[in-house]
Amino acid sequence: MTIYVAPSLAAALDALHDYGPAGAIFAGGTWIMRSPIRHEPLKGHYVAIGRIAELKAVRIGTDALEIGAAVTHTALATALAGLPEFAVLAAAAGHSANPAIRAMATIGGNLAAADFAAADCVPALLCLDAEVEIAGHGGGERVSLAQYLKIRSTLAAGRLLCKIVVPRTGRKTAHIRLPQRKAGDYAAAIVSLAVSLDAAGRVETARIAIGSVEPVARRWERLETALVGHRLEPIRAAQTAGGLVDEFVGRNSVDVPAWYRVSVLPGLVRRAAAAALGS
């Protein structure tokens, strides 16, 4: 196995192109180092991107937030501190896993790990209508995060998620997780919420994403629709969620049964609504 430390994005893409299917990106390494536990073979060549400045930058503009793929969870949480509209993402990055993992794990790796259902940043970014930029040897493209989640397992060798772009909308946001205290603090279930309210406190727009319950995080569109036009009241939101949880098919694991992941969702929705109002 070889590791090439790329000095620039162009150099990283060139190396990935040359290695083909035998190559892969190495960022924080937290997912790759656990490959033997998952009985997955390591690649023959890795391209390390941790020294590429543009991939480690967080830019907070007037219209959008741009996050380089190699930004760690700890760095992202620090950069977003004090910005209520991004409280959902700051909480996702700042409370995922444990401190040692957060200091190494990158936002790009969190999104790219197709088999990691408990990734905190995925639902947080889904509720913020995030897009991702994918670069390749022959050019790049920008797609919605929802679309990326559908295609990430089938991307051709040499394609690299290099940036996440999040529009600034001034919404109230919150990220609530139910951690497994004996399983690395990964979440049994996650609710990420972003809402805009009118002057009377009624919901004008709602984005609610659920993580860790199913193999891939996704928006809860029926609940979003049900909340629009009503005041954001935590108890009512939980009751509404309770009537809609039948659409989820939870995933079983050694630590948490499927039914439990689904059953806790109304309570997490209540907490998310309360936290968003508090922010």
Instruction: Identify the pLDDT of residue 156.
Output: 82
Band the pLDDT of 34: cuts 50, 70, 90. Answer: confident
Instruction: Identify the pLDDT of residue 184.
Output: 59
Q: How many CA atoms lie within 13 A of 228 on its CB side?
A: 11
Instruction: Tell me what the pLDDT averaged over the chain comes to.
Output: 94
Transcribe 6-57 into DSSP letters: -SSHHHHHHHHHHHGGGEEEESS-TTGGGGGGGT-PPPSEEEE-TT-GGGG-
Q: Find all residues with CB under 8 Å of 205, minimum gap 6, and list them.
A: 171, 195, 196, 228
Q: How far is CA 198 from CA 171, 189, 225, 231, 241, in A?
A: 11, 29, 16, 9, 22
pLDDT digits (tens, 9 = 90+) for 181-223: 765 578 999 999 999 999 999 999 999 999 999 999 999 999 9
Q: Give kind and range of the element (H or E) at residue 163.
A: strand 160-167
Instruction: Identify the pLDDT of residue 182.
Output: 60
**Cβ-contact 206, 227 below 8 angstroms:** yes
Domain spans in the chain, listed from the N-terminal domain onward? 176-278
Angle at 259 between CA 258 and CA 265, to 5 degrees: 100
| Region label for 158, one of left (φ > 0), alpha (ψ between -120 and 50) or beta (otherwise) | left
Residues 170-189, mean pLDDT to the nearest whole number: 87
CATH for the stretch 176-278? 3.30.390.50
**Hey, CA dihedral for 136, 149, 270, 106, is it positive or negative?**
negative
- Lowest-pLDDT choice from 35-49, 88-102, 148-162, 244-258: 35-49
pTM of the model: 0.94
Residue 31 has pLDDT above 90, yes or no: no
Give CA 238 to chain center in angstroms: 23
